[in-house]
Amino acid sequence: MPTTVTKTLKSAGGDYTSLSAWEAGEQGDLVLADEIRQAECYSFADTTAVTIDGSTTDATRYLRVFTPAAERHDGKWNTGKHRVSFQSEFGATNTLLLADLYTRIEGLQIENSIGQSTASGIAVDAIGVFISHCIIRKEPTWSLGGNGIFVRQNSSGTTKIWNTIIYDAPTFGIMVNRWTGAITRAHNITIQNSTIGFDSVASAAGVFVAKNCIAQDNATDGFAGTFDAASTDNCSDIASDAPGSNPETGEVTFVDEANDNFLLDSSDTVAKDKGADLSADANLAFSDDIIGTARPQGSAWDIGASEVVAAGGGGLLTHPGMSSMRPEMSGGMRG
């Protein structure tokens, strides 16, 4: 059983003052050390781009970046919580570049503020990456910026993304280069206001599976390219666009779209109670939403990153300080 080594990221009084410094300081052979090394991110604006590369990692000894419950967003961009907000002047093209195997990103707010159309909030260059409970957006005062998440890793392995909201990314919300052997699983994602919401690029013969995903207000297409036949219960505001079985078409009602609150509104009739139950999914199982609300609240799972809380009830699956996804305990993560 590996040892978990936790370092705090704070603007003052913590172990590190940026993710970039944490990564530089914690680089090493985690397999030899038999450690999980994690960055516990507190409420401040981290203005340094981060490349996670150079460590020796595997499926059980990896790097993890997360926010504890008290420091995490509430489903809407929150300037009072931890966020990575980088504006590029010196060559970085991604706010986060993940090049170490099995890196986990959980609960972050990431602004893509880079003046290149190929830039990404998160670029994935390694297998086994998990991204969950995040909000990714283009920084609102900049005219340029690129993708939300760019999965470009070209090895046999899986990338898993769930319970995440991406908005205002001018180019792509999630773009996947489908290299042979590479599998990307996107479950309960909400993408709003990109050019293409979910872009499956046929670089070779890889796989992109989308389940319970919403694509809305994307200028050219909600779901572009080929998605795996296992895709299901996706929703687009463009007719005949949502891939897989049980597609939904229509305009989803968010809590406050004009003010960038993309949590699902209780009045919604398009995505609410229309999703597939993924609690026992063979490849990416979980039971909560982006802010830890237990799924389902109604008669079925909601499509998208958030679950509408049942009137008079609800309740968080996540205990403070704990991840809602505990693959070591649940046994629900496979693939």
Partner 1 sequence: MAEFLVKAIDATHRDLDKNIRGCYKRGDIVLAKPDGFLWGKQEGLPKFWIVKVPGLALRDAHGYAVSKTTRIGEVDRVDIRRLWFLDHTILPAPLFSALMTLGIITLTAIEVSVFVKSKV
Which residues on adjacent β-strands are paired with residue 137? Answer: 111, 167
Please, are residues 222 and 216 in contact by the beta-carbon 8 Å criterion? yes
Closest CA to 203 of 152, 241, 242, 127: 152
- Min separation Cβ 225 and partner 1, Å: 17
Task: Give alpha helix (H) positions in the chain.
Answer: 19-26, 30-33, 327-330
What's the one-letter identity of residue 149? I
Among 3, 6, 118, 156, binds partner 1 (CB under 8 A): 118
Total residues found in the chain within this entry: 335
Q: Point out which span in 25-33, 247-255, 267-275, 323-331 binds partner 1 (CB under 8 A).
A: 25-33
Site for partner 1 contains 28 (CB under 8 A): yes
25 near partner 1, rule: CB under 8 A: yes
Using the rule CB under 8 A, is 225 a contact of partner 1? no
When the beta carbons of 27 and 60 are compared against partner 1, the nearer one is 27
Number of alpha carbons in the 13 Å side-chain half-sphere of residue 244: 24
Sign of CA dihedral 15, 18, 22, 25: negative
Q: Is 5 in the site for partner 1 (CB under 8 A)?
A: no
- In the complex, least distance from residue 261 CB atom to partner 1, rounded to whole angstroms: 32
The gap between the terminal CA atoms of the chain, to the nearest Å, is 21
172 near partner 1, rule: CB under 8 A: no
Write out the binding residues for partner 1, residues 78-97 only, by CB under 8 A: 89-93
> Which listed residue (46, 71, 100, 241) binds partner 1 by CB under 8 A?
100
DSSP element (H, E) containing 291:
none
18 interacts with partner 1 by CB under 8 A: yes
Q: Which residue's CB is nearer to partner 1, number 88 or number 184?
A: 88
Is the Cβ–Cβ distance between 152 and 126 less than 8 Å? no
Least Cα distance to 210 among 250, 173, 170 occurs for 173
List 5, 24, 70, 204, residue binding partner 1 (CB under 8 A): 24
Rounded Cα distance between 108 and 148, Å, is 13
Q: Which of 2, 33, 43, 56 binds partner 1 (CB under 8 A)?
A: 56
Tell me if 154 contacts partner 1 by CB under 8 A. no
Using CB under 8 A, count the residues that bind partner 1. Answer: 35
Q: How far is the CB of 89 from partner 1 (least distance, A)?
A: 7
| Binder among 35, 40, 41, 51 for partner 1 (CB under 8 A) | 51
Q: Does 217 bind partner 1 (CB under 8 A)?
A: no
The correct pick among 45, 152, 238, 316 for binding partner 1 (CB under 8 A) is 152
* Stretch (H or E) spanning 92: none
Q: Does 53 bind partner 1 (CB under 8 A)?
A: yes
Tell me: does residue 99 bind partner 1 (CB under 8 A).
Answer: yes
Question: Can you tell me the distance from the alpha carbon of 160 to that of 176, in angstroms, rounded to the nearest whole number?
Answer: 12
Would you count residue 42 as binding partner 1 (CB under 8 A)? Answer: no
HSE-CB of 330 using CA atoms within 13 angstroms: 17
Of 3-11, 230-238, 253-261, 287-295, the segment contacting partner 1 by CB under 8 A is 3-11
Which two tokens mark 100? 């170490």
3-class SS of residue 257: helix
DSSP 16-29: BSSHHHHHHHH-SB
- Binding residues (CB under 8 A) for partner 1: these are 7, 9-18, 20-22, 24-25, 27-29, 48, 51, 53-56, 89-93, 99-100, 117-118, 152
